Structure 1
Amino acid sequence: MSVGTRRARVEDVHELALGMPHVTVEHGKGENPVYQVGGKSFVFFRTPRPDAVDPDTGERYPDVIVFWVPSESDKLALVQDESSPFFTTPHFNGHRSVLLRASRIGELTLRELTEIVQDAWLSQASRKRGKDWLDAHPDPAE
């Protein structure tokens, strides 16, 4: 199995986020990591909240990761696909982000997770930083 096609892990989120340029890490109320670029969050690990709960038990999900996305259409593409592990809640209506339970991260390949983290960073980085990064990392598919 190649590196890009292996199943993603939670550790990969941390490594990928920290691997992007100009990243700082803040910590939330529960000491959960919040990855930022230019003072703007692009990936963060949420503390349990009342808007993301197990439908069977009513228990709050303890393992939600938030990823910013470039646009509302990108968000819809991720959350409307029934096979996707990404979801949203009414709390995030109008917010350019998607949620993912850490317990479902293995449904993604490392390549897919890499794209999600890079897109999250690009959606929050300044135009100059984004352009500089894209110029240094041309899309191999093109």
Structure 2
Amino acid sequence: MTARPARLADLAEIALGLPEVQEGTTWGRPAYVVRKKAFVHFREPRPDAVDPDTGERMDDVICFSVGDQNDKDALVASESPWFTTPHFDGYNAVLLRERDLGRLTRRELEEVVTDAWAARAPKRLVEAYFDEA
């Protein structure tokens, strides 16, 4: 059986299926938030993320929290659509263009979103979630 490519609707379904997650906003853009902490958010076009083909600011960048620098390095180093910019040096997050969601499987997206949630949610909430799973 072939794994299904991830879709934008999957992102919402996965994020909202995690404990205490709400849709919110960060800097006026959509975000998924656990106890007032965003773990996935849609970035506004910024000068640090420019499309190499057009020279235009990317308007479809999604930011995902990660647990630590090792997690970040592993995602960015893999042959995948994950990337970072100098703006995120020292910050535990990776970036993904919305147009590249389909390069991931739904299962891969679920793993990264769950890890992003776990990186920002309170420890007790994370422990309870994984104990139940």
Equivalent position of 1:115 in the other structure? 111
Equivalent position of 1:25 in the other structure? 23
Q: Which amino acid aligns with 1:92?
A: F
Q: Give the superposition deviation at 1:28.
A: 3.9
5+ residue gaps in structure 2? Answer: none
Percent identical:
52
Equivalent position of 2:91 in the other structure? 95
Equivalenced residue count is 133
**SS at structure 1 position matched to 2:63:** strand
CA RMSD of aligned residues (A): 1.2
What is the CA deviation profile of residues 88-129 of structure 1, one whole-angstrom value per residue up to 9, with x for unaligned ones? 000000010000001111110000000000000001110100
5+ residue gaps in structure 1? Answer: 138-142
**Alignment equivalent of 2:74, drawn from 48, 69, 77:** 77
What is the CA deviation profile of residues 28-83 of structure 1, one whole-angstrom value per residue up to 9, with x for unaligned ones? 455x21111111110011111111111232101111011001110000001122x2
Equivalent position of 2:9 in the other structure? 11
Equivalent position of 2:45 in the other structure? 48
Q: Which amino acid aligns with 1:6?
A: R
**SS at structure 2 position matched to 1:41:** strand
Q: Give the superposition deviation at 1:11.
A: 1.2
Q: TM-score, normalised by structure 2?
A: 0.94
Q: Which amino acid aligns with 1:106?
A: G
Give, in whole Å, the separation in 2 of the partners of 1:57 and 1:112: 29
**SS at structure 2 position matched to 1:128:** helix
| CA shift in 2, pair 1:75/1:29, >3 Å | closer
Q: Give the superposition deviation at 1:26.
A: 1.6
Q: TM-score, normalised by structure 1?
A: 0.89
